[in-house]
Structures are given as C-alpha cells and as structure tokens.
A and B are shown apart, each in its own frame.
Chain A
Amino acid sequence: MDGAMGLLGGGGGGGSSGGSTDGSMSTVSKAEVVEQDYVGLMSEVSSYPAEAELELGLGLSLGGAMKAKPCAWREYGRILTAKDFPSVVSRGSSASSSSSSGRGTSTTAITGTKRTADTVAQDVGHANGASSQVVGWPPIRAYRINSLASQVKASTAEEDDHSIFGNDKNKNSAKKDTNNSNNKNNSNIQEKGCRRSSLFVKVNMDGVPIGRKVDLNAHSCYESLAQTLEDMFHRPTTTVNANRSSGEKEHNLMVEAAKSSRLLDGSSEFVLTYEDKEGDWMLVGDVPWGMFLNTVKRLRIMRTSEANGLAPRFQERDQRQTPAPRLRGSKPI
C-alpha cells in the first residue's frame, strides 16, 4: 500500500545507531505504512490509491502534471493526509519503536529513511523525480510556497483570458515552449473543476430600465470592457446632454473613437462601478483585472453626480487633498 512516499523503502538501511548495514532493505517495508495523524496539518482522509483527482485546499498545488499512476510519488500539491505518513519513528525498527515510545498514535515528523540505490532507481522509474511530501521538504519558506500557489491560480485565469483572444502571441508561443504552461492549464482545469469559459454579469445603467449582460471573460482588461459597455449603451449624439430625467431613454454619451474609455477616466457624466462579493459598490479599475474578476457580482453605470465624493480618477496635476474616492455605502479602502 503505497502510502509511503518512497522514503520508507530503504527502511533503516541508512544506518541507525544500531549499525544496520547500509543499503539493505530493512524490516520496514512499504507494507508497514500505518496511518497516523499528522502533526499540524489538516487531515482530510482520502482513500489513497483511488484518489486520482487533485484535491483543493491549501495552495500546495503548483501546476505540475497530473499523474494517474498509483505510484509513490504521484500526488502533487495535495494536502498531506493521514495516510501519507507512516509510523516510522526511527530507522531500523519502526514497528517496535512506535509501540515502545509510548506515544501511541502520536506521530513524529517523517523521518526520511535512507534508501537503497535500488529503491531510488525504482522510484525514479515510477515517478518523474517528484519530491516526496515530507514536512518541511523541500526547504522553501512557507510564505513563498503559499504566495506562488495563489499567484498561479490567479495568473492562469488571466492567461486563459489572454489566450482566448490571441492578444498575446508571445505568451502562446511560450506556452508551447515550456511544459509548465501546459501543466498550468491542466491544473487549472482540475483545480477549478472547469475552465472559465464565460462569466456573464448584469449591467445596469442609471436611467435605463432594462439591463444588459456582459461576458467578463471576453475581456482581458478594463479598457476593452468599458469600450464594450459604451457600445452597448451608446446613443449616438454629438453633445453631452445634461438632462437627468430618469425616465428618458435617450442618453447622451460621447463615444471616444480612440482606445481609452471615458467611462474609466472620469471625464464622462457616468462612471463604471461594480458590486463586489461583500455587497459593496466599488469603482471599477482600482484592482488588478484578475482580482476584479474574482470579486465582481454585477456592474452599474452610475451617474457621476450620484457617486458621493467621487473624485475623477485620473487627475494628472491636480493636487487634491481629498480623501480617497469613496462610494456611498461602501467601505473606505
């Protein structure tokens, strides 16, 4: 039963103080894996060999390839579960020492045991040299591991957006270059359970009783989203009409022919806002696109005059000392 991470294989061969010969398989065989509670880590029990899917959880998954083979190394990025850790307390006599230790089911950190060259070769054959999931190994700061994991999740979402629209030829070629990119995509599939193909959210505009829907995943940045929204709600006129009657259907937006959207730069009568997961109404454009996608629930094109205390966003030279723009009812950032 390969709960062992392969390290168990050589057993006590590494030379405990008992002086067992090195390199020989000891009494500790892989079959002696015993389930233990693992110190400090969440134990999410899973039936080990059957578990071919990646489990979600703490971001240990970093986009490696999914391996379906039930070999010792295969599960990457999985929460270490109870079954992963054998009861080896010392090399050479795991079974006896665990009972004599009187620690009962308490476990130690994994003691990596010495492995024979055979075992090594064997595992290399099985696995792709993936490192075992021993606590604290490989020696990378927990901060770095967590940080990288969460970034991969965020950036794969964005990469998907980019690749869908072919915005970035370089990136596509880069994907072909390295396996990692492919694996990232694979892991994205497994991780999220689905690839994000479309993300439709409602859009309402002040004064327009009928709303629209827009697919956020069809865009990769704020500019193109704003452009699309302007097109959606566009009424062709040449002047900005200050008429604020809410029943009117005719609204006057100057549509910028160029790339930057007036909705975003604060120069139009309207601003683009969104409701986030916490129920607050926020100004669109402050946070990175990926973060925005994760928190947006719906959009609203709001009259600038109704957005209390909202300073125009892109003020170049103006040295305003006003506090940060704050929408009515929202929390200060």
Chain B
Amino acid sequence: MTYFPEEVLEHVFDFLSSHRDRNAVSQVCKSWFRVERWSRHRVFIGNCYAISPERVIARFPRVRALTLKGKPHFADFSLVPHDWGGFVYPWIVAMAKSYPDLEELRLKRMVVSDESLELLSRSFPNFQSLVLVSCEGFSTDGLASIAANCRVLRELDLQENEVEDRRGHWLGCFPDSCTSLVSLNFACLKGEVNLGALERLVARCPNLRSLRLNRAVPLEALHKILTRAPQLVDIGIGSYVHESNSEAYVKLCNAVLNCKSVQSLSGFLEVAPCCLPAFYPICLNLTSLNLSYAPGIQGNELINLIRHCRKLQRLWILDYIGDKGLEVVASTCKELQELRVFPYDPYGGGNATVTEEGLVAISMGCPKLHSLLYFCRQMTNAALINVAKNCPNFTRFRLCILDPTKPDHVTLQPLDEGFGAIVQSCKGLRRLSLSGLLTDQVFLYIGMYAERLEMLSIAFAGESDKGMLYVLNGCKNLRKLEIRDSPFGDIALLTNVGKYETMRSLWMSSCDVTLGGCKALAKKMPRLNVEIINEKDQMMENSHDDGEKVEKMFVYRTLCGPRRDAPDFVWTL
C-alpha cells in the first residue's frame, strides 16, 4: 500500500536507470506497475524474437530509447546462415505509429535495410542517436537518408557492420543546418568519402567529440580535420601513410598538439609507422587505444607508442606484440582494465605470438584488469592459476587457444584446473569462454563456483552429458549458453528443462542432441521456441527420424510463439 501520489512515485522511479531495478519495482503492486510502465523511457530487448513490437508498445507507451539484439552470438563466426532473421523493419514500422518521441535506437546483429533506415529517418522528428553494431543489409544510401532527414542527429555510430558501399555522397547529405553531431563513426565503410563534405561537417559541429574515420581518409585530410576539431575526445584514424619529413606530416604534428582532450585513439587502418611519433603527445592522456586493425604497427614502433601510454585503461592489440611486448604493457599501463589480444594470423601458425607467459606478466603488472579476451597458441594450468590469484576481479574472461583441444602444453593435462581456479577466485565473473582440452571436471567447477556467471561459451569441450548438467544445475544467473562441437546429448538437454525459461537462449551446434530430443523439449516447454537450423535439407519435416542428430539448435524463451519470418531452413518445433 502506498500513500504516495503517483507523481511522487514517478519522480522516484526516474532515478532508477537499471533495467533490473525497474523490472523489480514493477512487480511490487499494480500501482507501481502502472507508474513504472508509463515512466520507462529506455527499453532493452536482448532477443528481438522474445517479444513482439506491439506488446512492447502496449506495455511501455512512452519509450524514447530502444536497444535490440537479433542473431545469436555465434552468428559472428558464420555459424548462422545469412537469412536466419533479425529484421528490424517490423519494429520501425510499429514504432513509427506509436513512439513519435523516439530518440535512440541501438541494434546489434540485426538485419537493417535501407528501407528501414529511410523509414526511421522520416518517422521520428527528435531522433538523435543511431548505433549499429555487427549489422548488415544496408548501404550508404540508407546512411544518406539518415543524414538528410534526422534534423537533430547527435550520434551515428557504425561498428563493424557489413555495409554495401555505393560510393554515394552520403556525407554530403548532412544539411548545412546540421550542427548537432557529437559522435560520428564510419570506420567500417570501405569506400571513398567526400573529403570536402567531411571537413565542412566537422567544421560546423562544435560539439563533435568522437570521430572515427575510414580507410579512405588520407593523412592530408586528417590534419585539416584535427585543426577544425581540436575538441575531439575520441579519434579513429583512417589512413596514415606519409613520409615523416613532409610538410603534411609537420602540419599534422601541429594539429595533434592542439588536440588536448583526446582520450581514445583507434584505427590506423593503413599506416606508415614512422609517422607515429606525431601522436606521442596525446598518448600521455590516452585511456583507450585500439590498434587491433593496424597490422602495420609492429615491433619497436608499437612498443614505443605503448611506452607513452601510462594512463591506459583499455588496450586492443594484435598478438604479434608478443610476450615481451606484453611485459612492456604490464610495466607501463598500471591502470589497465580491459585487454584484448587478437590473432594477427589465425590460420597460420608458429609465428611470434603471445603465450601464457605474457598473460601472467599482465596479471602481475595490472591489478585492475577485469576484462580479458586473449587469443594464444598455448596455455598451462599453472599460468591460469597464477592469473586467478593475481587478478581476482575478472568480470569477463575469454581465453581462446587457437588449437581447440590443446591441453596444458607442459603437463599435457586438460585445462580443467586452470579454469577452475579462475571461476573459484573471480567471484564476480559474468562472462566466460573456454578453450583447450577440457573434461567434465571443468564444468563441475563452473557449476559450483561461478555464481554470477551470465554467459558461457563452450567449444570442443567436455566428455559427457554430466558436463552440461553441472552448468545448468549450478549457475543460478546463467542467461546465455552457447555450445559447439561438444558431446552433450538429449539427457543433458532434457533433464532440467525449466532452466531454459530463466535464460535468454541456448545454442547447441554439432553436439549430440537428436531431433527427438528437441521435439521432446518443445513439447514440454511451450513457451520456448526450439529452432532447428538445417541449411542443407529443407524437407526436414518429412524425411528425418527422431534419432538423427541435429546440426544446429537455437532455443529461446518467448512470449510470441514461433516467429513468422523464419526462413525455410529454420524449423520451429
């Protein structure tokens, strides 16, 4: 019961930004439910098929910011066929009718057509922020409509999308009256851009803080842009090739000196490392450095650059930095919180890369490290145990040993103990990716210790159904489980079916679950969609028997029943 008038409640709820808090609050009583739903302006939907746009609109009538995620995570690695789904168009159509005040849209792994972008640009007069991550289906024509029609656009952030570049003049479509841009990231576009239009755009947007250029912006243009926007906080360099003694380079050095606010640097998509010293002055204040797309920066240039970055908190690099380079990082970057080491040459082998020694060095030198993505070719239990001891604060720990079933290279034992140490020591661990040779034992540890774990990625691991069951029975907060090429079958799938309704989704590919098992799951749990993805054979329903193993299965909870836009090769049981 409450004596508070609803306006007071609403005011209090305004302070609640976390979705979980709001969800909790909405369950207290009918009155709170009502107040909360009218005051919720930001909605996060982790699986666009879990609910329909109409229901979202019915529940939350006044949404201004929406985040939507589409394809399962393994789609990033080409495990999900292209037309599987994740179309944003129906959402935009529905919102165009009901959310006139929409300001922000953030999409991840969705299919976005030019038509969607056009409709988006015309339907929401207050639209300010569009962030597309790992999406596909659109071209620069769609960007042109956003540029042309969104009058108060502040943010256009394209991260790692597959964009068809029609070499149009989309940058020139920003009207002269557009002065509101705060963030512009088009690094993933492959084609040329209108440099004059870019420069004029930068010149007339005084609030521009973040600018990430694509490869087609050469160094000569860069210095002019930096001169016009010395207030930039985040810069993504496009192409960076020039002789170090040329006039343009000198001009660039001066322009860089003027940029006193830069904290984040990325790009260097084509680079002549001799020119890197131009950036040393801003390295001192850098908190974020992403060189993972800069294969041209190697060896001494790389080390020298890093030596200047004492305040770094986030570092993304390629593995040719080597263990020695990581030691430099460990001794220089004491504030480091997030490290990602990507493989420069994932399909080759034996070149200089990083090993467990580099990881241990980092763990010793960087006590604040809590987020790790590390590709390497070898690992040992001892190293992982060491790391777990040095860094008990991991929230995200993703280790990928390039050879998928490689054991401890010293003892030739599975890596169960190493990962076990990680989950035991890092009580706040929310995300974990395993690799290397692993038995059921590691899952026993995970089930036992990883209480806060929300997302687990498993590949080529485990020995029997017990492994998967340890996880399903143990990890209370598990939301996403994705498994490939592991020997888990129907028993694992069906023993704890209630668990799946507490999770967002389960992905299993190339495991031992059978069609019959999937059917049983679908029958027991009507509020789950059990999708079988079989690209080869579209007459699945008739020609297969239940004993057959299922190639790819994606299970997710939903309030909407089977989706109507599923392609032929997806069979929802």
B344 engages A89 (CB within 8 Å): no
B405 engages A7 (CB within 8 Å): yes
The reply on B193 being an interface residue by CB < 8 A is yes
B296 engages A102 (CB within 8 Å): no
Q: Indicate with 1 or 0, residue by residue over B153-170, a CB within 8 angstroms of chain A CB atoms.
A: 000000011100001010
A17 engages B535 (CB within 8 Å): no
Bound together, the chains give a CA A144 to CA B169 distance in angstroms of 25
Nearest B residue to A292 by beta-carbon distance? B218
Q: Known: A76-B348, A138-B343. Contact between A152 and B407, CB under 8 A? A: no
B77 engages A76 (CB within 8 Å): no
A residues within 8 A CB of B378? 129
Interface residues of A in 45-96 (CB under 8 A from B): 60-65, 67, 73, 76-78, 89-91
Nearest A residue to B466 by beta-carbon distance? A15
Bound together, the chains give a CA A22 to CA B414 distance in angstroms of 12
Q: Indicate with 1 or 0, residue by residue over B510-541, a CB within 8 angstroms of chain A CB atoms.
A: 10100000000000000000000001110000
B residues within 8 A CB of A90? 512, 549
The reply on B243 being an interface residue by CB < 8 A is yes
Q: Distance in Å from the Cβ of A80 to the closest Cβ of chain B?
A: 10
A131 engages B403 (CB within 8 Å): yes
Q: Distance in Å from the Cβ of B447 to the closest Cβ of chain A?
A: 18
Interface residues of B in 29-80 (CB under 8 A from A): 74, 76-79
Q: Determine which of B218, B273, B347, B512 lies in contact with A16 in the assembled complex, contact meaning CB atoms within 8 Å.
A: B512
B345 engages A15 (CB within 8 Å): no
Bound together, the chains give a CA A181 to CA B544 distance in angstroms of 51
Q: Distance in Å from the Cβ of A243 to the closest Cβ of chain B?
A: 30
The reply on A174 being an interface residue by CB < 8 A is yes
A64 engages B351 (CB within 8 Å): yes
The reply on A140 being an interface residue by CB < 8 A is yes
Q: Indicate with 1 or 0, residue by residue over A138-156, a CB within 8 angstroms of chain B CB atoms.
A: 1111111101100110110
Q: Distance in Å from the Cβ of B195 to the closest Cβ of chain A?
A: 6
Query: Which of A24-32, A103-111, A210-218 contacts its partner?
Result: A103-111
The reply on B188 being an interface residue by CB < 8 A is yes
Bound together, the chains give a CA A56 to CA B437 distance in angstroms of 33
Bound together, the chains give a CA A325 to CA B169 distance in angstroms of 13
B273 engages A148 (CB within 8 Å): no
Q: Determine which of A112, A117, A133, A147 lies in contact with B460 in the assembled complex, contact meaning CB atoms within 8 Å.
A: A112
Bound together, the chains give a CA A208 to CA B284 distance in angstroms of 53
Q: Known: A110-B485, A130-B349, A167-B243. Contact between A22 and B463, CB under 8 A? A: yes
B77 engages A140 (CB within 8 Å): yes
Interface residues of B in 244-301 (CB under 8 A from A): 244-248, 269-274, 292-293, 295-296, 298-301
A144 engages B160 (CB within 8 Å): yes
Interface residues of A in 93-139 (CB under 8 A from B): 97, 100-103, 106-112, 114-115, 117, 120-121, 123-124, 127-139
Bound together, the chains give a CA A61 to CA B79 distance in angstroms of 20
Nearest A residue to B217 by beta-carbon distance? A288
A residues within 8 A CB of B160? 141, 143-144
Q: Known: A76-B345, A285-B220, A324-B172. Contact between A39 and B536, CB under 8 A? A: yes
Q: Interface majority SS on A: helix, strand, loop or mixed?
A: loop
A63 engages B510 (CB within 8 Å): no
Q: Known: A129-B349, A168-B273. Contact between A120 and B437, CB under 8 A? A: yes
Query: Which of A220-228, A231-239, A244-252 contacts its partner?
Result: A220-228
Q: Determine which of B195, B196, B320, B403 lies in contact with A132 in the assembled complex, contact meaning CB atoms within 8 Å.
A: B403
B270 engages A129 (CB within 8 Å): no
The reply on A14 being an interface residue by CB < 8 A is yes
B348 engages A152 (CB within 8 Å): no
Q: Known: A174-B298, A323-B196, A333-B193. Contact between A141 and B510, CB under 8 A? A: no
Q: Known: A102-B543, A120-B437. Contact between A64 and B243, CB under 8 A? A: no
Q: Interface majority SS on B: helix, strand, loop or mixed?
A: loop
Q: Indicate with 1 or 0, residue by residue over B404-415, a CB within 8 angstroms of chain A CB atoms.
A: 111101001000
A135 engages B79 (CB within 8 Å): yes
Interface residues of B in 457-500 (CB under 8 A from A): 457, 459-460, 462-465, 484-485, 487, 489-491
A183 engages B78 (CB within 8 Å): no
B218 engages A288 (CB within 8 Å): yes
B residues within 8 A CB of A77? 347-348
Q: Distance in Å from the Cβ of A87 to the closest Cβ of chain B?
A: 13
A40 engages B293 (CB within 8 Å): no
B218 engages A159 (CB within 8 Å): no
B residues within 8 A CB of A22? 439, 463
Q: Known: A141-B77, A287-B192. Contact between A60 and B351, CB under 8 A? A: no
Q: Distance in Å from the Cβ of B70 to the closest Cβ of chain A?
A: 15
Q: Determine which of B76, B172, B270, B490 lies in contact with A290 in the assembled complex, contact meaning CB atoms within 8 Å.
A: B270
Write the residues of chain A forming the contact surface with B, with a CB cutoff of 8 angstroms.
7, 10, 14-17, 19, 22, 39-40, 60-65, 67, 73, 76-78, 89-91, 97, 100-103, 106-112, 114-115, 117, 120-121, 123-124, 127-145, 147-148, 151-152, 154-155, 158-159, 162, 167-168, 170-171, 173-175, 177-181, 183, 220-224, 258-260, 285-291, 311, 319, 321, 323-325, 331-333
A-B contact pairs, 8 of them (CB 8 A): A10-B405, A101-B549, A109-B510, A127-B350, A128-B349, A178-B299, A180-B344, A286-B195
Instruction: Supply 4 further A-B pairs (C-beta < 8 A) apart from A14-B405, A22-B463, A140-B375.
Output: A111-B510, A112-B404, A141-B77, A177-B298
